[in-house]
């Protein structure tokens, strides 16, 4: 077996060094116990000559702990998630954790399946990044799987809504959208519309609700036709904007897309319609996606420290808190006013 020859084990190392496998093991994971300098050298030499690398799987079985952490995002190609993932991967790498990534397109059933897989892998932790949905049944099933995972000794962390009973990094969607709404009204916008994202997604719902609350502070309401749903994507924004245009009435002063990606879609749709921004309609987004900072006109938005949020999630995995009392780490959003919401006329 060519295979067999090349697969060198600790036993091979021990044999070649003329020591017991115990001693070889102690040398390889130095620190566990002192080994005489002479034998240690012999073992090291054998390791080099044989090109030995410890089998981490076997080690994990023997010790009962692994360094794997599972991360599930909705869509890694979406800059929102890839930014968070970047922070997560960097921080996890620095802490010697092995990150396994999976994509579960906003489906708690798929997330559940991945948590089950991580449970089978005896992963140290699982991190669920992204909005919860309003499907209570699916959420409960997911929660149960997570409970099984934590009961087994794993940690669970979520980035999104604190609805799973685990440590959670919570972007303040409602507060941010509220602040944005107030700022827009302060600028002079009076008739607002919202491109509201998918119906079931709580992040979208929170942002709409927060926006609505912010407007309410100025006694401004949103009528049904002024809230139009669509996918959380560029095309979703494009189409949602389309249906606002198709409705025919007078254009709103300002359109709030619940994320930047949709806002860009809306900009594209308006450009296609020959409507200038902000001259014809103002547009605002949410997230402050880095790659989207150079669109024209520059987009008013609510900045979320995405990369930082990923790092925070990674920290939570290590910092073991008291069980039963999940920690909640709120992350405020910062309103960034740019050209896309300059009012048609300065406020009277």
Q: Which of 10, 104, 263, 292 binds DNA (CB under 7 A)?
A: 10
Angle (deg, nearest 10), helices 37-50 and 21-28: 80
26 binds, among its own copies, DNA, none (CB under 5 to 8 A by kind): DNA
Beta bridge partners of 254: 192, 282
- Plot region of 246 (φ>0 → left; ψ -120 to 50 → alpha; else → beta): alpha
Q: What is the C-alpha separation between 176 and 286, in angstroms, rounded? A: 9
Burial of 76 per CB tally in 10 Å (0-12, 13-18, 19+): middle
8 A C-beta contact, residue 189 and residue 345: no
52 to 111, contacts with DNA by CB under 7 A?
Answer: 52-55, 58-59, 61-64
Q: Which of 82, 242, 340, 341 binds its own copies (CB under 8 A)?
A: 82
CB of 79 to its own copies, least distance (A): 6
Residue 244: both structure tokens together = 């606002």
- H-helix or E-strand spanning residue 100: strand 98-103
101 binds, among its own copies, DNA, none (CB under 5 to 8 A by kind): its own copies
- Please list the alpha-helical segments (H only) found in 121-233: 136-151, 173-187, 202-216
Does 219 engage in binding with DNA (CB under 7 A)?
A: no
Q: What is the C-alpha separation between 234 and 142, in angstroms, rounded? A: 29
Pick 56 or 136: Cβ nearer DNA: 56
**Residue span binding its own copies (CB under 8 A) among the ranges 72-80, 135-143, 195-203, 326-334:** 72-80
Does 35 engage in binding with DNA (CB under 7 A)?
A: yes
230 to 249, contacts with its own copies by CB under 8 A?
Answer: 234
Q: What is the C-alpha separation between 3 and 5, in angstroms, rounded? A: 5
CB of 278 to its own copies, least distance (A): 14
**Residue span binding DNA (CB under 7 A) among the ranges 13-21, 187-195, 226-234, 249-257:** 13-21
Length, in residues, of the chain: 348
Q: Which of 90, 135, 172, 226 binds its own copies (CB under 8 A)?
A: 90
Does 23 engage in binding with DNA (CB under 7 A)?
A: yes
Does 121 engage in binding with its own copies (CB under 8 A)?
A: yes
- Omega before 42 within 30 of 0, i.e. cis: no
Total site size for DNA, rule CB under 7 A:
30
Report the interface residues with DNA, using CB under 7 A.
7, 9-11, 19-23, 25-26, 28-29, 32-36, 38-39, 52-55, 58-59, 61-64
């Amino acid at each position: 077996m060519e295979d067999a020859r090349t697969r060198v084990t600790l036993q091979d190392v021990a044999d070649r060094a003329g020591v017991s496998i115990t001693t070889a093991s102690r040398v390889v994971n130095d620190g566990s116990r002192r080994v005489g300098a002479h034998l240690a050298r012999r073992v090291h030499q054998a390791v080099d000559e044989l090109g030995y690398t410890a089998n981490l799987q076997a080690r994990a079985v023997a010790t009962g702990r692994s360094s794997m952490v599972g991360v599930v995002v909705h869509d890694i190609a979406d800059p929102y998630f890839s930014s968070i993932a970047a922070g997560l991967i960097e921080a996890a790498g620095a802490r010697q954790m092995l990150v396994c990534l999976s994509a579960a397109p906003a489906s708690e059933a798929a997330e559940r399946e991945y948590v089950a897989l991580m449970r089978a892998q005896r992963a140290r932790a699982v991190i669920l990044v992204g909005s919860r949905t309003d499907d209570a049944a699916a959420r409960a099933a997911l929660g149960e799987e997570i409970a099984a995972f934590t009961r087994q000794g794993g940690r669970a962390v979520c980035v999104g809504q604190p609805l799973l009973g685990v440590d959670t990094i919570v972007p303040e969607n409602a507060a941010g959208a509220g602040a944005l709404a107030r700022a827009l009204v302060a600028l002079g916008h009076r008739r607002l519309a919202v491109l509201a994202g998918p119906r079931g997604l709580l992040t979208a719902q929170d942002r709409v609700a927060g926006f609505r609350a912010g407007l309410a502070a100025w006694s401004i309401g949103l009528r049904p036709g002024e809230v139009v749903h669509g996918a959380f994507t560029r095309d979703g924004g494009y189409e949602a904007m389309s249906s606002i245009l198709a409705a025919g009435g007078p254009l709103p002063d300002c359109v709030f897309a619940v994320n930047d990606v949709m806002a860009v879609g809306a900009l594209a749709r308006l450009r296609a319609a020959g409507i200038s921004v902000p001259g014809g309609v103002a547009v605002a987004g949410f997230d402050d996606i880095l790659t989207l900072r150079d669109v024209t006109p520059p987009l008013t938005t609510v900045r979320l420290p995405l990369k930082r949020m990923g790092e925070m999630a990674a920290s939570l995995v290590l910092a073991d808190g008291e069980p039963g009392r999940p920690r909640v780490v709120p992350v405020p959003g910062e309103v960034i006013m740019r050209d896309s919401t300059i009012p048609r006329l300065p406020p009277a």
